[in-house]
Amino acid sequence: MVSVDCLKDELWLKGDVTVDKGAIDVYLKSPGGDTIFNKTFTVSQKVAIDTIIEAKTGAWSLIYKSHEGSGQLYLYIDYPEF
């Protein structure tokens, strides 16, 4: 869970996902509980995430669910530097 104090209009979901086995679901939920990002990553995938989303003040949740998956998740929320 990440607490965001909005200083800008947008946030950035960034990072890398690598799946070596199985599959992994990744969800980003807004403070209101809406699913803002939802993607399933499958075996032999290495994906760079670089998504701009509307900023909302409050606690954001980044959730993952493994389907017998293994790999690396490196995801974070940042402010775009415009």
State pLDDT tens for residues 22-31. 999 999 999 8
pLDDT band at 79 (very low <50, low <70, confident <90, very high): confident
Residue 37 CB contacts under 8 Å (≥ 6 apart), including other chains? 13, 26, 27, 28, 51, 53
pLDDT digits (tens, 9 = 90+) for 5-53: 555 678 889 999 999 999 999 999 998 999 999 999 998 878 999 999 9
Q: Is the pLDDT of residue 61 over 80?
A: yes
- Per CATH, the number for 2-78 is 2.60.40
Domain boundaries, the chain: 2-78
Q: Is the pLDDT of residue 81 over 70?
A: no
